[in-house]
Every structure is written in C-alpha cells, then in structure tokens.
Structure 1
Amino acid sequence: MKKLLLTAVCMLSLGAYADEGMWTLYNLPQAVYEKMKSEGYELPYEQLYQADDAIMKSVVNFSGYCSGVVVSPDGLVFTNHHCGFEAIRSHSTVEHDYMLNGFCAKSYEEELPNKNMFVSFMVEQKDVTDKVITNAFKKMTHAQRETYLDSLENAWSKDVKKQDSTLRLELKPFYEGNRYFATTYRDFTDLRLVFTIPKSMGKFGGETDNWMWPRQTCDFSVFRIYADPKTNGPAEYSKDNVPYHPEHWARVSDEGYKEGTFSMTIGYPGSTSRYLSSYGITERYAENAIRAQVRGVKQEVMKRHMDASEAVRIKYDSKYAHSSNYWKNSIGMNKCIDSIGLIKQKQQFELQLKAWMDSTGHYSGQLDFDKMAKLYEKRLELRKLRMYWMETFRGNDELTTRAMAVSRAVSNGERYFTVKDNRETFDVDTDKDILVALLKNYRAKVTDEAYLPDFYKTIEGKYKGNYEKFVNHLYKKSKVMKSGKVLHTQKPNMYREVGVAYGRSVSKIISKINKELKKLNDDINRQEQLLCAAKLRMEEDLPHYSDANFTMRLSYGQVKEYKLGGWKSGYYTAASSMYQKMVLGDKIEDYRVEPEMKTLLSDASDAKKANPYRDTKTGEMQLCFLTTNDITGGNSGSPMFDGKNRLIGLAFDGNWDSLSSDIFFDSQLARCIGVDIRYVLFMMDRWGHADRLLREVRGEK
C-alpha cells in the first residue's frame, strides 16, 4: 500500500518537472542538466556556472526589481522597457519627453546617469544550512532567529569585504526555511540610460494586452554600466568614470528559433509560493480580490487626471503602470484558481501527504493539517484588513507617505526631519483626489470600527462626512507638505500637528493588525515549513527547486504554442499582426502609435525591407514568441538563450491563461512571452539609427 501510494504521488509530480522550475545554478541537479540536453542544450555543464565564460556571468539583477543581460564588451545592458520606465520618466519633461518620443544617445557623453539605480552580478552562491540550522537555532523563537540571521549575514559580509571591498553577501532562506544559501554579489551603481523607444512601442497594447497573447510589444530598453577608470570596478557616479569591461557578455543570435527550439532563461524571479497549502491559497484568493478592488478605485482617478494633462501623465505613467500590472494579475490569478480547481487539487495532494505520514510516521506530531486549518481560519479576517490598509495607505499619495515618515521620526526620538523636496514626482490635485477616493473606499469596506483610524471620527463629526474638505485641510495646513522644510520633531506639540496626527492615526491601525497577526504568522509559517519538508522527504528521489526569492535562477524549456479548447495560440507573432492592431488606434488608445511606426511595421511586413531581421524559415519579421519557460515578477528583462547560450530574446510577461503559476505551474498552459532579439535590433536600427550601438553588440569596430 505504501509503495503504491508513493508511486502514485511521484507519477503526479513527474509531469510537473518536465519544463517547470526555477533552479539555482551552482548546484543544478545532474538530472535537470540531462533533461536540458534532451531538449536541445548543446554545451557542457560548466558553461552554465563554473567556467570562466559561464553564461551566468552575463546576467544581472537590475535595480532590485528586474533582470538584465550584458551584451557587449563595453558594459551595454539590455532589459525590458518597463524595467527602465522610471529612469525614462525621471529624465522626461514636457519639452523633452523621452517617455513619449524615445531617446538615443549618439555618444558616451549623451548617456544619462540615474539616481538610485544599479546592477548586481552574482559572484558566488553556496549552501550554508549546516552553519545556520544548529540545535540552538531550532529552539529559537521567530524573533530570535531573525536577530541571529541578521548577525550572521553581517559577520559574513564583513569577512567577504575584507577579501574584496566591492562585494556584499546576502543570507536567504530556501525551501520555506528548511535550507539557507549565502550569495555574494558585486554592485555597480553608475548606470546610464542609452536607448529607449517611444512608449507607444515599448508598452504597445498597454492594459488591453497586458498578460495576454498574442503580443507585439517591443519591450526593451538599453543601459550602460560605468566603472572606475583605474580598477574597472564599482564606483559612485563621476563624469570621469568609463564604460565597464565585463568578464563575459552574451552574444546575440540572428538565427532565431522554430517550434521545439531549446530556450533557457536566467534571471531573478521575485516570489512564488508553489509549496503553499490549500488554506494559504484560499487566503491568497481573498487578498487578490481586495487588491484588485482598491487599485481599480485608485487607477480610475489617476487615469482621469493623466488624460487631462501631459505634465500629470509624465509624473504618473510609471505609478499607473506599476499599479495596474498587479491589479490585472490579481484578477487573472483568481480566474485561473477557479478554472483549474486549484484549491481542490491542493486538498487532494494534502490527503495523499497525510496518508504517507500515517504510513511512515514521518512528521507525526509536528505537521498537523487540522491545526493549520484553524490557524488560517483565525488569520483570514486580519489578513483582509491588512490588505485593505496596505492598498489604501501605503505608497499611493504623497501626504500619507510623508505623514507616516514624520510620525515614525517622532516616535523614534529623531530630533529633526527634513521633508523631501520631490514636487516633480507628484501633482497636488491628483494626489488629493486619490486620497479622497481611497479614504472613502476604506470606510465603505472596513466595517469594524476598531480598525478605523481616529480621523474618521473627525471626518464624520467636524466635516459632516465631507472627505474633500478634510483632505484639503491636511494639504493646506500640514507642515509635512512643505517641501524642503526642516521639522523639529521632538517639540512637545509635534504629535498635534495635523499631518503628524494623521500619520500616527494611520500607523496605529497597522501596528494593531500586525500585533494580532504576529503569533498566528509564526505558527502558520512553522506549519508551512513542515509541509514543504514533508513533501521533499516524500519525494526525495525527485529533484526539487525552491520557491523564487529574487536570487538568480535558471529555467529551461522550448519554444512552443499552447492550445485552449479549439484555439491554437501559435508560437510567434509577425509584423503584419501588429500593423493590423495599429490600424485600430483611433478606437483603442493602447494601439495608438506615431505615423512613422506604422510605416516601419508596414515595411517590416515586406520580406525585402525586413532584411536582415526577418526569419529565414518563416520568411516573416517575428516580434514576440512563446516558450515553456517558468516566469514570474522579477524575471522581466531575463535573457532568453538558445542551446548554444546565444541570446534570442528578452522575457517580459506570462500569459493570462496561467496566471496562477505563482502558486501552481500548469505545464499545458503556462507560457513565457519574450520579445525577439531581432525585433529589438530592428527598432534600434530602423527607428533609432543607433549604428554605434549595433556595431558594439555585433562585436564590430
């Protein structure tokens, strides 16, 4: 009975491992490498991580939220257009709108520096579990473990810096905290904008096409790493810095691909929850619904103001794109959870796991599904409240952001607080309307008065329910809205300052929620950790990858279409399909482009005019393509390599029909959408006339 059960479970799992996975490279299982070879990978194992010219050396963490790839001996980096969105926006003005009109530096001197941006190269990764999970560690509380892990990371970082001052070390949990890896990085902070196409192309399709297929978006931007001229190492921005000369860079392929071609992505996926219990997925479903609802309210206000003013549009383009991306993701994920019956599937697996535990005795008295169910039941309402708070008060309007920051400074005993002068990043009227809409929505959705900030009594009493008057008063009277003002935060009456009082009132609610969640979180996290450990033990003969945690991962697969009902997706889109959408631009704003773009894509539909960028097999200019690679947030900008480590595209999206892939990978439907590297080069050539950059990428002098 035990053997039959284990065999059945393994058979269920084997199908998932065909193309699925976000694998760490330094310890890539041999079985996975053999599967890669069977699907078309042609190079030795060492070419992935160990060799001097290993392909991982060309891949970068892009500013802590995306991925990128170095494509030249002079430090040129390709990433997605939406990854460079904020940099492009920050350089844009009404007079020089690079977001709208694009940008191409014709020389090194014209390349634009960026604040608070960087790229990180992974230098080394190793398993340090035995040094972390000691008997003493097992007896620690969650808080004690966090303190201990921080101290370990700091100590090991100091050791690394003694060897090389340009390095830093991160210590992170893997497999739900059952293992720990230490990763060493080298950061370059002088990163300059080199090339971007107009938003009409870099974000073609907008929200209409986001997460959808077919796609034609030319989602790329180009940056350059600058280094110390004496050491070729990291350096703060200086006009004297020079282009960085990397150890290795990716070579661009002009051969393209066909259905079945091997495809490998290497990048920095942000977060997945593939080991999550059925109870956790139920909770995630509820949170998704709240995120979608609140963001819908906010985005309606933003869109109205952006449509009315070019200056406002420039300031809010990036904010709107960021918000709407996961608004739509939340809607799509819940749709997929329902359509594939994911919660029921997880429940069935948990029954199998429990039967295995009963038959083997493993984890008896530790992993308790009844206990887990009760803990999640207690936590659900609190998590809903927390999501309403997060989506209402965190990072949506400038006043709340400043008010909470000053309130923290007062509470922490800081003597002074200088209000940041960032007036160029927001519009007061837009900001006010967003706050009014969100405050009204929070009051309508949160009915338990114990979780309403105190100021709601003021709105309902003094202001007779007039939210506009309350918000106008805050903006007019609060010192936190005086950009550049230095506040003496320890003055006796500082808590009574209207903005600080507002921020303190907001902060009290999240502190209350978090305090009530703390014990439940610790207990639930322990049960989820045991669930992962039990799965790994039950399936110990199979290779397993850890959930994504923004460390470098490899995913392998093939160029491949998918089928849904009687519909076939096709594995690529051609220039002609984009031109057909462009024609609809008068009716659909997201398909609106400049006349010259219509001409370019019309030319690209012509085989002769598309040379040398058209595909020799299909005879068409190919724009975007589908692969079975595993992708999630953070993978944006990940290089897509063929079986010879040659760059064939940049990953930029997943598909609507598998948006539950963060918690369950459906090998039949899950696809990674990439922009064809030949499309990238076509636009650099025909629109940007970027001859110097093209020569650099091609290795020509």
Structure 2
Amino acid sequence: MNIKSLLATSLLCLGFFSSGLPPEEGMYPLSELNRVDLKKAGLRISQEDIYSTTGKSSLVDALVNVGGCTGSFVSAQGLIITNHHCAFAAVQQASTPEHDYLNKGFVARGHEYEIEAKGLTCRITESYEDVSDQVLGAASQISDPASRLAVINNAMKHLAIEAEKRDPGIKAEVSEMFIGKTYVLFRYRIIRDVRLVYVPTRSIGEFGGETDNWVWPRHTGDFSFMRAYVGKDGKPAAYSKDNVPYRPKKFLKVNPAGTNEEDFVFILGYPGRTFRHRPADFISYQQNYLLPYTADLYEFENKAMEAAGKKDAATALRLATRIKRNANVMKNYRGKLQGLQGIGLINDKRKEDADLAAFIEKNPALKSRYGTLMTDINTLYKLIYSDAGRDMWLGQIYNSTSLLKVATTINGFKTELAMQTGGSRQNWFNDRLPALKKELDNIYSSFDAEADRRIFGRMLADASALPQNQRIAPVDRLMGAKTGQGADQLAGKLITESKLAERGAVLEDVLKSPDRLLALKDPLLDFARETDQLIARLKPEKDRRDGLLNKLMGDYVNVKEQFMKRSFIPDANSTLRLTYGYVRGYSPADATYMKPYTTIAGIFEKGASGNPDFVYPPQIKARWQAKDFGAFAKKDLNDVPVAFLYNMDTTGGNSGSPIMNADGELIGVNFDRAYGATINDYAWNEKYSRSIGVDIRYVLWVAQKIDQADFLLREMGIRI
C-alpha cells in the first residue's frame, strides 16, 4: 500500500469512528436511518433520496427480494440484476441435457424468448409500521412461556391478516426485530411472474467454484438478469404469455465508471439472519453443536450426490442446485467455526455476560426484576445442550432424504383426507390434488435413489449412535427389527423396495383416487409417521423452551442496553436494511495485504493451475489479449476489474444486493464475503470483515464482448 492510500485509509477510519457509530452495528433498518450521518460518511445525495418519508419515489423502490436474495430494477421495463447463484435453481429447472442453460448460459434477445423462472417471485417493500405495543400487549398478562409465545405469534398473524384485508393487493408480514421486544408490520407487493433474461455461462457465473467460495481474491462473474411481469392491468398475476413487463416506481442508474479505492459505497438489501445480541451460551451452542454437525452432514450428502451425478447428465442437473446450496452452507459454517475459535468469541461473551450479571447485582431496581436472568439463561441452555443431537437430527431428517420428505407430505395429505366423509371426500381430494402433485413433483425434481440410500444410511447410523436420553424410537424399531443388517443395508432395502421411489407411479397411479391413496402401505410412510409422532410428543417442551427463550432474550437486550448506555440496531431478519462503508483492502494474516480489486489477468493465472473450477471461456482470453476492453478498463490497472472488496456489513440474503456509489448509482453486485467474515452473523469487525462484489465494469464487459448482449446495455441507458 502506498503512502497516499495509507493516509486516506487512516483519515477515513478516523472519520468512521469519530462519527460515534458503533462499528459492529451496520445493518440499519429503514426506521433507524436517522441514527446514521451518511452525509458525513460520504453520501452526496440526501437520505430522503434513499428512503422517502413523504411518499416520493426513492431508491428503496428499486429493491426487490427475489428467491431469498436481493435484486434491483435497472430499467423502466422491469429488468432486474441479481447474482448468478440466485438464479441457479430456476436455470437448473429450465435446463435439459439438450438445452443446458445451467452450464452454457442463456441470452434472450427479445421479450418473447425470456424463460419462466419457476419458483421465483419478487417481493417489493411498500411500507412498514411498528406494532410492538399491539403484539406484546396481547401477551402482557400471560406468565406461562409457551402460552405467551403462542399469543405473540397469533397476534403477529392476526395483524398481518388485518392488513391484507385492508389492502388485498399486498402481502403483510410481522417481523420480530428484537426477540421478545420489538415487532414491525411490513407490507409487500408480490410479483409472481419472473422470467430469465440473461445468465452467463457457468464458467463465468461460477468461476472458481467451491475452491474460491468464501475466498478472496475472487474472479467470479456472479450476476444474472431477470424481468418482472404483471397483468395488463398492472397488477401482479401468475405467469401468462399475455403479461407485460412491470414498470417500477424507481430503477437504479448504472454507472459504468465503477469505483476507486476508498470510495464511499452503500448497499440496500434483505440480509437473512444475524445473532449479534445473544449471550455466550448461544454462541457455545453454535460452535460446539450446530455448526460442526451440519457442516459434516452436508459434506457427506454432497459426496453421495456427486457420486450419483456421475451416472449421466440428467442426474447431475437434477442434483446441481442442492449440491451448490449444501456446499455454500458447509464452507460458510466451517469458516464460522474457524473465526469463532480464532477470535475467542465465546470467552469474550462470557466476560461480557459476567459484567452484565455484576451490573444487575449492583442495581437494586434491576436486581429485583432481572436478578435471575443470567442463571435462567444458563439453565435453559443446559437443557438445550442435553438433547442437541436428537434435535439436530430431527431438524435434518426430511431435508436429508427426499423420499422421507415425500412420505411425510403424503402422510399429512392422507390424514386430512381420512377425516373427510361421504361425498365431500372426493371433492376435497379433487380440490387439493393439484397442489399436492406440484409439491411432490418439486421434491422428486432433486431425487436420486442411490444418493437417498447413502444419505438415509448415514442418518440411521447417526441416530443409532445417540446416547440413551436422546434415542430416536422409529430408528430403534427399524434397526432392532432388522437384526444382522447395518444402517447402509437397511437404508438400501427400504429405498429400493419403497413404492415411493417411482415418481410416475405415485403421481399417476397412487394419486388416481382417494381410495388408492388411503390403501397405500409403505415402510417409509410408517417410518415418517412415527417420526412425526415423536416430533409431536416433543413439541410441548420445545414450545416451552422457545417461549422462555423469547422472554429471556427480550430481557437480556433490555438490560444490556442499560448496561452499555445505548440502544442497539436490531439483528438482521430478512427485512430491508442499509449498510455502508468503503472500497478497501485488508490484511487477513501477518505480513499480508489483500488489494481491493481483481482483474481479468487473474482469471488466466488461476486457469493455469489445471483445477477444473478455473476453466473459463476461450473468448475471454482472446478479447483480453487483443486489449479489447471497450469503455470498461480501470486505468490504473490497465485491465477490466472483475471483483472488489469493501468493509460493509453483509450476510446471507445480501446476495444480489446493489452496491451503490455516493450518488446512489449502481457500481456492482454483492455476492460473497471473505472467509474471515463468515462470522459476521455473530460479530463484525473492520479488521477482518470484508464483503465481495462483482464489479459492474466486468458485468458490462462480459455482456457486450462475450455474449453480445448490447441490447441490455441500451435498455439500461448505457451509451458506449
């Protein structure tokens, strides 16, 4: 780093911390934007331009939640930019061995060629309203933890229903901003017709694969374009060839000039979940139980599915989305484990909790109200630890084995069907059959018998190894009844002989009539029914614990704010947030410095390794060698920047978030974090927390020079 850059970094750091903003609290809800001085930080537009309290069009109107990710409108014709990995499942569903859009990419050179993005909807935030008094007031006189939580949940549901009655055109949802403390009613507009417009080849959109996932430096063109459609009346409608492009209230201006090091940048998006305001016992549960168990299980599942995918291209396509999701979670969780252990967060939290307990003890008023708070939290978590293995197993069993998910889905339908009598049974069956078939078809779309066999065998073996107080009765019955058979053998027999393994037979024969369905007998149905019965028996205690946790965490935040003499920014919960920072490199280890930009040249350096994750289209090298950079080169690099780093506070759900400059113009798309920043969910620190985005200059260069999608540049108003 040169002296000029070092000085700039120092001055900006001083500005950042002198603003009085706690650096660990960077995901600001719309309601909290008044707590941050963005002008002082570097914003050139007004904060009213970001979110208007007077009803005028603002940047938040250009934001959408799409498929669990974030996207943004970039044209008046409903064009959306998001990540390649956010469109992955929809592209996979549209792909066949003959039309392999997943690997070869897709460009629709006219609206009539755009493909339905099955399973994707767009959710646009219309407004929000604090309803904490209504929610908590409903439960103010209830002391039983489970009953209190049930009343809170019912109040949240009721408020959403009432909001939808007042405005049938919206989807309402009450979100818990602080557990047991703060609740906000959000109103969303849901667009149900979303179509694929442009997806680059997988060797661009997923360059680096799992080798580079959660790693810097990155050279991944993680972007895709979709389009939102509505009915001719402008209202949301299901997919139809007669629909027309949605006209958003606001769309973002794309700035092809990009950024420079230390530029102010900000993100609007829908970050998933963070847990910054939880005690040491919660972090201990994550580090010692949930993270290692899930990461190891997903690694096993992926090996089973990858082996199955080697049979043929169709199987590989079917399993691709699940493998990608598993791999992403697995590496994320292992990064979190490394980070938690590296910074000793549990010890820091224990000291913080001890100081909090001492603070309560010294204050008579607090002691009378919260005197047992910390011991109550510890006692509850000891219970949670005591049967963590069983709870995690039950939480994964249906996600792990596709046929068991089929079984529990059919069981639920059969139970309700059996309750119908006389002529109403056939009518009930006919009315609900299409939805059931759609749900089952979706499960079968990622089913492979051999992968299921291996994974189910692993699950049976895991359950058999649980201690006596955590036994899974359905597994014990199976294993006990099949003496001499190991878990793998038993799983193989059950999967192979199950009638559920034949997709066509289930959808066309078993579901032909109510009588045929009710007569269906299958060992997997029996196993799923017994497992569901076990879950039901355990539910009252789980509800009691959840209710108690809800109350304790609300009290914990209340007293902690008094202890620290400040109020907190709520943890992320998939509601619209703003985070800001600067384009900036970092030092992840002693004697190392990571620059904030990568270039096309780095693609070839990685490609020379021979690793199949680093294969790239030959056109990229041909264009680069000809220095055909167009208007997208960064002068000081003499190359096209591919990805860049910034110190913003992001997490899952921020994938696809627009990265904007000081003028509110789009200059990149967020897609990842550096490995050390995977623990952002628990703690953020400027030293190691870096997020990664694809540079808009690379997006535009690939679109124009590699895929000849100049029409998209023109639609976005880019005159090159």
Give the alignment's TM-score, normalised by structure 2. 0.88
Residue type at the aligned position of 2:452: K
- Cα distance 1:62–1:141, how it changes in 2: closer, same or farther (>3 A)? farther
Q: Is the 8 A contact 2:145 2:545 kept in 1?
A: no
Structure 1 unaligned spans of 5+: 1-10
- Cα distance 1:424–1:455, how it changes in 2: closer, same or farther (>3 A)? closer
Residue type at the aligned position of 1:79: T
Of the structure 1 ranges 361-370 and 287-296, higher mean CA displacement relative to structure 2 is found in 361-370
Q: Which residue of 2 aligns with 1:672?
A: 691
- Cα distance 1:505–1:490, how it changes in 2: closer, same or farther (>3 A)? farther
Quick check: 1:613 aligned with 2:642?
no
- Cα distance 1:210–1:13, how it changes in 2: closer, same or farther (>3 A)? farther
Q: Is the 8 A contact 1:58 1:249 kept in 2?
A: yes
What is the correspondence of 1:448-527 to structure 2 with a 5 Å cutoff? 448=468, 451-462=471-482, 464-481=484-501, 482-484=505-507, 485-486=510-511, 497-527=522-552
- Cα distance 1:637–1:138, how it changes in 2: closer, same or farther (>3 A)? farther
Residue type at the aligned position of 1:439: M
Structure 2 unaligned spans of 5+: 1-15, 421-428
Residue type at the aligned position of 1:44: S
Deviations 1:455-509 (A, max 9, x none): 5443454362144553444345434343312187789986953221021133234
The alignment of Structure 1 onto Structure 2 pairs a total of residues equal to: 678
Give the alignment's TM-score, normalised by structure 1. 0.90
Q: Which residue of 2 aligns with 1:317?
A: 320
Q: Which residue of 2 aligns with 1:253?
A: 255
Q: Is the 8 A contact 1:291 1:388 kept in 2?
A: no
Q: Per the alignment, in what secondary structure is the counterpart of residue 565 of structure 1?
A: coil
Counterparts of 2:88 and 2:682, CA distance in 1 = 28
Q: Which residue of 2 aligns with 1:6?
A: none
Q: Is the 8 A contact 1:409 1:489 kept in 2?
A: no
Q: Which residue of 1 aligns with 2:26?
A: 21
Counterparts of 1:13 and 1:358, CA distance in 2 = 33
- Cα distance 1:155–1:371, how it changes in 2: closer, same or farther (>3 A)? closer
Q: State the shift of 1:15 in Å.
A: 8.0
Q: Is the 8 A contact 1:263 1:559 kept in 2?
A: yes
Residue type at the aligned position of 1:41: L
Counterparts of 1:598 and 1:422, CA distance in 2 = 39
Q: Which residue of 1 aligns with 2:61?
A: 57
Quick check: 1:389 aligned with 2:394?
yes
Q: Which residue of 2 aligns with 1:346?
A: 349
- Cα distance 1:441–1:293, how it changes in 2: closer, same or farther (>3 A)? farther
Deviations 1:43-94 (A, max 9, x none): 112111116231111111113x111110001000011111101000001000
Counterparts of 1:155 and 1:507, CA distance in 2 = 27
Q: Per the alignment, in what secondary structure is the counterpart of residue 224 of structure 1?
A: strand
- Cα distance 1:411–1:537, how it changes in 2: closer, same or farther (>3 A)? farther
Q: Which residue of 2 aligns with 1:595?
A: 618
Quick check: 1:560 aligned with 2:604?
no
Match of 2:383 among 378, 383, 389: 378
Q: Is the 8 A contact 2:61 2:249 kept in 1?
A: yes
Q: What is the root-mean-square deviation in Å for CA atoms of aligned residues?
A: 2.8
- Cα distance 1:466–1:77, how it changes in 2: closer, same or farther (>3 A)? same
Q: Is the 8 A contact 2:139 2:152 kept in 1?
A: no
- Cα distance 1:423–1:342, how it changes in 2: closer, same or farther (>3 A)? closer
Q: Per the alignment, in what secondary structure is the counterpart of residue 645 of structure 2?
A: strand
Counterparts of 2:519 and 2:473, CA distance in 1 = 18
Residue type at the aligned position of 2:253: R
Match of 2:405 among 397, 401, 406: 401
Q: Per the alignment, in what secondary structure is the counterpart of residue 30 of structure 2?
A: coil
- Cα distance 1:594–1:448, how it changes in 2: closer, same or farther (>3 A)? farther
Q: Is the 8 A contact 2:145 2:551 kept in 1?
A: no
Q: State the shift of 1:661 in Å.
A: 1.3
Q: Which residue of 1 aligns with 2:126?
A: 123
Q: Per the alignment, in what secondary structure is the counterpart of residue 29 of structure 1?
A: helix
Q: Per the alignment, in what secondary structure is the counterpart of residue 384 of structure 2?
A: helix
Q: Which residue of 1 aligns with 2:7?
A: none
What is the correspondence of 1:544-693 to structure 2 with a 5 Å cutoff? 544-563=568-587, 564-584=589-609, 586=610, 588-600=611-623, 602-603=624-625, 608-693=627-712
Q: State the shift of 1:693 in Å.
A: 1.2
Counterparts of 2:246 and 2:138, CA distance in 1 = 46
Question: Percent identical across equivalent pairs?
Answer: 26
What is the correspondence of 1:88-99 to structure 2 with a 5 Å cutoff? 88-99=91-102
Q: Per the alignment, in what secondary structure is the counterpart of residue 608 of structure 2?
A: helix
Q: State the shift of 1:120 in Å.
A: 1.0
Q: State the shift of 1:636 in Å.
A: 0.6
Q: State the shift of 1:175 in Å.
A: 1.7
Q: Is the 8 A contact 1:287 1:387 kept in 2?
A: yes
Q: Which residue of 2 aligns with 1:8?
A: none
Q: State the shift of 1:135 in Å.
A: 7.0
- Cα distance 1:330–1:423, how it changes in 2: closer, same or farther (>3 A)? closer
Of the structure 1 ranges 127-136 and 346-355, higher mean CA displacement relative to structure 2 is found in 127-136
Q: Is the 8 A contact 2:121 2:191 kept in 1?
A: yes
Counterparts of 1:249 and 1:268, CA distance in 2 = 17
